[in-house]
Structure 1
Amino acid sequence: MEKFCFLLLFALAFLFNGGFSVTDGTEDGSELWGYVEVRPKAHMFWWYYKSPNRVEDPFKPWPIILWLQGGPGGSGVGIGNFQEVGPLDTNLMPRNSTWLRVADLLFVDNPVGTGFSYVEDEKACVKTDEEAAIDLTTLLKELFNKNENLQNNPLYIVAESYGGKFAVTLGLSAFQAIAAGELKLKLGGVALGDSWISPEDFVFAWAPLLKDLSRLDNNGVEKANSIAQLIKQQIENGQYKDATSSWSELESMIIASSNRVDFYNFLLDAGRDPLAIKTMESSAMIAVHKYSKYLSSNKFSGDGVDLGSLMNGVIRKKLKIIPNDVKWGGQSEIVFSALDGDFMKPRINEVDELLAKGVNVTIYNGQVDLICATKGTQAWVEKLKWEGLKSFLGLDRTPLYCGDDKTITRGFTKSYRNLHFYWVLEAGHFVPVDQPCIALDMVRGITQSPISSY
C-alpha cells in the first residue's frame, strides 16, 4: 500500500508539477521543454529530463542522450519517451529500465511536422536527411550555446530505425558546427539501433532470411528477389521515389506470401507482437510508414489510455505551450511523404565519415527484427571503407548477460577502436522494450556513465 501511494503521488506530481505555474519546465529544473523556430514557419518541440542520479564531476562528465525516433515522422517525445526509455510509461507509472538512470534525456519531435513539432506551411517540411540535420543542429545551438551546464557534458545521439539516418547526418553536421566554433557542445558519439542505413541491404536480406525460417518458399523468394533487384537498379539510377514505391510493393508481396509475417518480429504474425504495427491491407506504405501503430498495445497501455489520448490529454495540459491547432500524432503522413525521395537513399558513407573523424559509432540490432534485420546490418557494415574494418571483423565476440545472471546469454558484443557492435538476442525492432536490461547496460557502456545500470 505504501508503494502504491508513493507511485500515485509521483504520477500526480508529474501531471500537475506540484502546483507550480510553469510554461516551459518544472520549477526545480528537473524537466525543461519548449519550441525552437529552426526556420521561418518551422517549429521543433523538445523535452529535456535531468537525471536524478546526475553527478557533477569534472573527471567523470555526465552524459546527455538525444533520442531520435524513426518513421520518418515518428514522435520521439511520445514514442521514445513514454513507450521505450523515458521516466514514465503510458500509465504514467515509473519505468524501472528508464535510461534516465544513467544519463540525462533529450527527446525531440523530428523532423518538423512530427508529433508536437509543426509547420505553418507544409512546404516547410524537410525533403532530405541533410535538411533534417540542419534543423536539429539549429536546435542544439539554441539549447547548448546558451547553457554552460549542458556544454560541459557530452551528447550522445541515439537513434532507432529511420532515426539512424538522421543520426549520422546530424553527427556530421554537429561535428562541423563544433569545429567551426558555431556549436558549443561535446559530441560523445552516435548509436544506431536497428537503423535503416542501407535500404538495399535490408530488402535483399528479407527473402533468404524468411526462407530459412520457413515463412517463404522458393516461389516467394523468387518474387521477392525480383523486386529487390529492381530496387537495387532504381537506387543505382538515383530513382529514389520509384525505389520507395517498389519497397512498398515488396513488403506487400512478402506479407501476402508469408501469411502476414510481422516486420518487427519475424517469429510472429503481424499484430501479434505487442509493439508491432497492424499492417495496412492496401499496397500503400506499410511497415515503416505506420511505424507508431504499436502505441495502442494492450501490453503497454494496460487499463490506461492509449498514447494518442495521453499526449493530446494530460500531457498537452502539462506542457501548456502546444498551439491549439496542433494535434499530436504518432506518425506524420506529411513528413513521410516529404521524405519519400530520400527514404531509400543509403547513408553508409556518412557512417564512414564519422568513423574517419574519430567519432564513436555504436551499432546495435535485435535478433528477431525483420525490417532492419541483423543480416542486412552486417551486410552494410562489411561495405565500410574505414581502415579499422578488417581488424574489427576479425575479432571474436563477447557474450552479454543481464546483471549477475550468467546462465542465460542475452547477446554479444565486440569493439575495435571507435566502432562498437551489439547483437541483442530475443529482441525485435524495439530493443529497449524487448531487452530493457541489456539495453540499459549497453547505454551505460556507450556513454561511460559513472552510474551502474543495475
Structure 2
Amino acid sequence: MCKSHFAVLLFIITAICIILPHFHGGLANAAGTQDGSEQWGYVEVRPRAHMFWWHYKSPYRTQDPSKPWPIILWLQGGPGASGVGIGNFEEVGPLDNFLNPRNSTWLKKGDLLFVDNPVGTGYSFVEDKELLVKTDEEAGRDLTTLLIKLFNKNKTLQRSPLYIVAESYGGKYAVTLGLSALKAIKAGKLKLTLGGIALGNSWMSPMDFVASWGPLLKDVSRIDNSGLVKSNSLVETIRQQIANGSMKEATKSWGDLEGVIMDSSNSVDFYNFLSDSGSGGGSLTTSMISTISVTNKYLRHLDSLRVTAGGDGDLGTLMNGVIKKKLKIIPKDVTWGGQSDLVFEYLSGDFMSPKINEVDKLLRAGVNVTVYNGQLDLICATKGVEAWVEKLKWEGLNKFLSIDRTPMYCGADRKTRGFTKSYKNFHFYWILEAGHFVPVNQPCVTLDMVGNITRSPNK
C-alpha cells in the first residue's frame, strides 16, 4: 500500500476524517476514521479504570466464509509498555514512528487490535492508583471485559477468529486472558472464537530465564568464570525466595542479578547478547519507551533501546503530539506513559511468578499455542524457553520433543532464517539472527510465521 494512501487514511487530522466521538459519563469513549478502516476508544473495565484500544481493519481483508479473516490482538510487555505505541509504531502496525508505511505490517495477514494493557499503560489510565492491577490474573480479567464490550455487539468482529499475540511480559497476560476468555465464552458472556495464542520471547518462567543468563553468556565468552559464579549465587537466592513465596524480594534480587551481569559483561544488551547496552543492538529506534520511567531496574533494559533521536522518530513526542491530536478523545490531563512506572511497581509482587501451568491448561483445552523466540535474546533467552517448555505436563510433550525441526526460509532466498516444529496444537519457532524484538529483526520470516499461526487467507 502506498505512502500517500496511508497518510490520507491515518494521519490527516481534520474534522472530515474523524467520526465524532461518543460520550459516556463526560468522557469520550469511541471514535474512528470516516471510512471505518480504523476505530479506537476507551472501555471502562472497572469503575474509574479506563483501557485504551485501537483497531485497524486490514485493506487485505477477505469475506470468504470458508476462510475467516483473523484479528490479531497484540499485547506488549513491561509491565507498563504500550502496545498502542510500541507494538503499533515500532513493530507491526501500518506506519513506523517516522509515519512511513511499513512493508512488513501484520495487516497483510489480519486485522490488528492494539491495547494499552494493563490500565495505567500508554493512554490507559486510572483515576486512583489503587485501581492498578496487582496480578496477571487481574490484568486478564480486565482484558476479558474489554473484549466483551468490543465483540458482543459487533457481528463482523464475531465472524473473525481472535489470535492473541504477545511479546515479553505480555505472554503472561496472554495466557491469563486466554483462560479468562474461555471461561467467559463457555458461560455465554463473551461472543468470539479464540483462534490461538502466540507467545513471542515471553517472560513465562522467570526462574528458568534468570538461571539461563550466566551459562549462556559464559558459552559465548561474554562473562568469565568469576561472573558465572557471582550470577549463579544470586540465582540460588532468587530460587529460594520464590520457593518461600517472597516474590517482591525475588523481583529485587532479579534487579541485583542484572547488575552483576552488566558489570561482569561490560554492559551486555539484554535484548541482543551480541551487542552492548546502549548501542542500539535491540534494533528499535529506542525512543520507543522514552516516556516510561518504571523503575531503575527496568530502565536498564530500555536504555539499550534508546537513541537521541529527538523530533521525528521519537515515540514519546509522536504519541503525545500528532497522534494524541489525531485521536481527539485522549483526556487533556493524560500523558502517554504517564502512569507506566506505577504499573510496574504494582505488579512487582507477581513479576517473578511463572505461568507454565496456564499454558498446560490451554493446551488441554485444545487451544492452539505457539511459542516463538529470537536466537540472540538474553532477557527471555531461548535456553530458558526450552527449559520451561520441557516442564509442561501436556500429554503430547514427549512426542513434540522427539520430532525433527523444519528449516525456514524467506521467499526464494535459501538462507536459513529459522526452524519450526509442531505436534497437535503446540508449535515452536526458533528465529535466527533475531533478538527480543523478532518482528523488527526478521520481518519477512516473521510475517510468514504469523500467516501460519492465524491461518490467514492471504498467504
Structure 1 portions without partners, runs of 5+: none
Aligned to 2:329: 321
The SS at the match of 2:104 is: coil
For residue 275 of structure 1, what is the amino acid of its counterpart?
A: L
For residue 69 of structure 1, what is the amino acid of its counterpart?
A: Q
Give distance in 1, aligned partners of 2:109 and 2:205.
31
1:404-419 paired onto structure 2 within 5 Å: 404-406=412-414, 408-419=415-426
Give distance in 2, aligned partners of 1:346 and 1:7.
43
Deviations 1:424-451 (A, max 9, x none): 0000000000000011100000000010
For residue 345 of structure 1, what is the amino acid of its counterpart?
A: S
Structure 2 portions without partners, runs of 5+: 22-30
Aligned to 2:313: 305
The alignment status of 1:275 with 2:284, answered yes or no, reads yes
| Residues 292/261 of structure 1: CA separation in 2 closer, same or farther (3 Å cut) | closer
Give distance in 2, aligned partners of 1:224 and 1:372.
16
The SS at the match of 1:184 is: coil
For residue 189 of structure 1, what is the amino acid of its counterpart?
A: G
Give distance in 2, aligned partners of 1:428 and 1:21.
38
Aligned to 2:360: 352
Q: How much identity, in percent, do the aligned residues show?
A: 66
Give distance in 1, aligned partners of 2:95 and 2:272.
25
1:9-408 paired onto structure 2 within 5 Å: 10-16=6-12, 19-22=16-19, 23=21, 24-272=31-279, 273=281, 274-275=283-284, 285=295, 288-289=298-299, 296-297=306-307, 304-329=312-337, 332-406=340-414, 408=415
The SS at the match of 1:344 is: coil
Number of residue equivalences: 442
For residue 91 of structure 2, what is the amino acid of its counterpart?
A: E
The SS at the match of 1:52 is: coil
1:91 is displaced (CA, Å) by 1.1
The SS at the match of 2:32 is: coil
1:162 is displaced (CA, Å) by 0.2
1:10 is displaced (CA, Å) by 3.3
Preserved contact between residue 264 and residue 276 of structure 1 (Cα < 8 Å): no
| Residues 42/163 of structure 1: CA separation in 2 closer, same or farther (3 Å cut) | same
Preserved contact between residue 75 and residue 109 of structure 1 (Cα < 8 Å): yes
For residue 17 of structure 2, what is the amino acid of its counterpart?
A: F
1:83 is displaced (CA, Å) by 0.2
Give distance in 2, aligned partners of 1:423 and 1:266.
16
Per the normalisation by structure 2, the TM-score is 0.93
1:271 is displaced (CA, Å) by 1.2
1:16 is displaced (CA, Å) by 2.0
Give distance in 1, aligned partners of 2:270 and 2:59.
37
Give distance in 1, aligned partners of 2:317 and 2:286.
18
The alignment status of 1:7 with 2:3, answered yes or no, reads yes
Deviations 1:305-327 (A, max 9, x none): 30100001110010000001100
CA RMSD of aligned residues (A): 2.0
| Residues 331/95 of structure 1: CA separation in 2 closer, same or farther (3 Å cut) | farther
For residue 255 of structure 2, what is the amino acid of its counterpart?
A: S
Preserved contact between residue 292 and residue 330 of structure 1 (Cα < 8 Å): no
Preserved contact between residue 277 and residue 304 of structure 2 (Cα < 8 Å): no
Give distance in 1, aligned partners of 2:342 and 2:206.
21
Preserved contact between residue 34 and residue 47 of structure 1 (Cα < 8 Å): yes
| Residues 416/372 of structure 1: CA separation in 2 closer, same or farther (3 Å cut) | same
The SS at the match of 2:429 is: strand
Deviations 1:4-62 (A, max 9, x none): xx624632542125732423001111000000000011000000000001011111011
Give distance in 2, aligned partners of 1:7 and 1:193.
29
1:236 is displaced (CA, Å) by 1.1
The SS at the match of 1:91 is: coil
Preserved contact between residue 66 and residue 155 of structure 1 (Cα < 8 Å): yes
For residue 244 of structure 2, what is the amino acid of its counterpart?
A: N
The SS at the match of 2:275 is: strand
The SS at the match of 2:196 is: strand
Deviations 1:48-102 (A, max 9, x none): 0000010111110110000000000100000000000000001111100000011
Preserved contact between residue 290 and residue 331 of structure 1 (Cα < 8 Å): no
1:248 is displaced (CA, Å) by 0.2
Preserved contact between residue 276 and residue 304 of structure 2 (Cα < 8 Å): no
User: Relative to total residues, which structure has the larger strand share, 1 or 2?
Assistant: 2
| Residues 115/294 of structure 1: CA separation in 2 closer, same or farther (3 Å cut) | farther
